[in-house]
Structure 1
Amino acid sequence: MSTSVQSSAPTVPSTLTVVGSINLDITATASRLPSPGETVGGAVLRQQPGGKGANQAVAAARLGGSSRMVGAVGQDDAGRTLMSAMADAGVDVQDIATLDAATGTALVLVDSDGENQIVVCPGANGSVDLGGTTFRDDEAVLCQLEVDQAVVLEAARRTKGFFALNAAPAAPILPELLDRCDLVIVNETEYELIPALRHAPLVAVTYGGDGSAIFVDGERVAEAPAVRVTDIANTIGAGDAFCAALVLALQDGLDYTHALAVANAVGADAVRDASSQPALKSLEHYIEATRVPDAATSAATK
């Protein structure tokens, strides 16, 4: 496992390769979510690009990083549409396989507060294969658990630089995979559902309106408050944007507290956008917006 180094920001954009899922999101937005057996009418239907992997790769590209996606889509209209959307966002799509299978699909229900319920049909995501994919020393790799964990483990084995895992959806993590993670990112529910994370070297946990924190060997060492948002449009892509931003911020040498603040700010912008792959400002914008002036600078400006 490589070591995370916190230093001054580099002069070149960070490189992030995402290995993971690519889905077509079919979303119905209603005034409220239905109870079991209940029908709620008056919803608005939309189709848009999604999948945790694709969302994270697009977020990285829009933040200004060099972004590459490794995954799979089907030989169908949905697959072609999703590939085009990622390429248009600036993602390198050369390592996305086109398979004789349906493109992954997520059926999403969203209420007026942005809360959601999701059912995922993996399709081509269930056949993701790294093949001859290689990773350079200078690139970070980010995975999730929407593809087979054996594929994620193989990605971790091949990674020469920084390896991060967004352990979502929550599942028991293979011991070797956990040992190879430089960073694990989860929300508070996933943190409770995966006890092994209590002993992981570096874990970032999101707490919704209560912000986020970083744990080193189970000890809480840094935290950052949430950015208050009143105009929530969709929470689906916020966690993925947070993940991409946090990895890029750490790779840019920010300390843990500042990196969390940057990722929180990116997540806040993401929930204001109805898309699962929201528009974002540059990483540099969020770094400057969340920078805390040192004491000497503050005194000089008074």
Structure 2
Amino acid sequence: MPAVPRARLNEEATVTELHTGREAASIMLGSFLRQCREERRLNQSDLAHVIRSSISKISRLERGESPPKPRDVADLADFMGLSIEERRTIQGLLDQARNEAWYQQFSDVTPSYLRRLIALEGSAQRIMVYENQVVPGLLQIRGYARSLVQTVRDDEWEIERAVEMRMLRQRMLDQQFPRVTALIDQGVLLRPRGGSAVMRDQLEHLLLAADAQRVNIRIVRFGSGAEVAPPYALTQLDFEAEGPADLVYVERINGADYITDAAAVDKYRRDLHQLHGAAAGRNESKKLIREAIKDYYS
């Protein structure tokens, strides 16, 4: 059992309420530090003197408004007597918060709410995504991604940069974690984004990904899971028990919601797992993908 329960952000937190200009890792680091402090029944004033600063600075740090300094974070961890697991969680978030992460170079072609999701994906243990319109971003090939970007951008240079960002994002699949489960509506297989040749290559890529240990692809057949399948895409991120709060990401046309309320996350988790149960199994899903590929050879 962890010494400190998972940190929770604002119970009704959305991407708008969390101020999209802030880095997700800084916010979650501050939230985790606050949770650790409160579990030990310490006040902000108790921590202020540890880092030779003021209560207001501790407050800004816990809200994710001040850039975290490694020395300050280390001193606070020592003062609170954090466990090895808690220190590992903090170090991971600190690394993300301090790192001018690779995706920052694409800030001009990537909305802030999506950059925050990318920042969190790398520290997740499990990702479950449901897509009813397109192949999930983590599984898109370059040609398919380009066809999607071209629907919202005209400038060739911006298109290339946006596509490159999507390709670099997939590097996390080479790591041990996160494990990814992709629930894909059957209609996605029949929607030839980029034309028949591109779609054929995309589906071949899905078949290869389906054989990877860390990726589980399930096709939601027509008529299956209708009672639980949402009319929009969902992404659920699960973290280590001692880590940040699990969350659900719901993307909208011009923004996104980051849902961290425990009851709401549990509801989405139940819905996704019911949808997973209604989806075709691994072998049947690969069969459905192969059948769709045949159509793009005709």
TM-score, L = length of structure 1: 0.32
Query: Which is richer in strand?
Result: 1
Query: Which is richer in helix?
Result: 2
TM-score, L = length of structure 2: 0.32
| CA radius of gyration, larger in | 2
Could you say which structure has the greater relative contact order, defined with CA pairs below 8 angstroms and 6 or more residues apart?
2
